Amino acid sequence: MKKFTPYYILAVLLTIPLLFSCTLEHVDNGKLDGYWHLEQVDTLATGGTCMLDEQRRFMGIQAHLLALSNIDNPDSPKNFICHFERQGNSLRIYDIYYDNRDNGDIKVTDASVLHPFGIHSLDETFNIDKLTHNALILRSEALALRFRRF
């Protein structure tokens, strides 16, 4: 039988509390989590449709953060990061920052930079009209945003 040294016993005694003191936060947004491609924007007042399936506009959702990427537009900021809250069929997007790791994330103060994503205010709430494994439709007062899981 192996003899336990005092160092071995001390290491075990110090490790056990560490294992029980750590808690990992797990956030499950269900089908909403993932990477979504913005493919179509419908104007509710006029019935007009703007097809975006050939453009690279994406929304990524994980934990409490939502990321927006507009890869094809060199004239405007490409990436944003923001918080969101989901309550039932309601999705609130708020606290929006330019995603700029080199210089620090800067808070967005002009909502017009978010218009390519169908977001028209710095604190906007959408209704979730459809949420399946492959499709997401968000509706504001003016627009319906149609996404496909990427």
The DSSP result for 66-123, as a single string, is EEEEETT-TTS--EEEEEEEEETTEEEEEEEEE--TTT--EE---GGGGGGGT--SSS
Residue 24: pLDDT band (50, 70, 90) is low
- 63-105 confidence digits (pLDDT tens): 999 999 999 877 777 899 999 999 999 999 999 999 987 888 8
Average pLDDT over residues 145-150: 96
Element (H, E) at 5: none
> Residue 116: which of 65, 72, 86, 85 has the closest Cα?
72
CA 64 to CA 115: how far, in whole Å?
Answer: 22
CA 83 to CA 111: how far, in whole Å?
Answer: 15
pTM (whole model) above 0.85:
no
CA 130 to CA 146: how far, in whole Å?
Answer: 9
CA 132 to CA 149: how far, in whole Å?
Answer: 9
Predicted pLDDT of residue 78: 87
CA 47 to CA 40: how far, in whole Å?
Answer: 12
| pLDDT of 149 over the 90 cut | yes
CA 70 to CA 116: how far, in whole Å?
Answer: 8
Which structure tokens are listed for 3? 């003899």
Which structure tokens are listed for 144? 């319906």
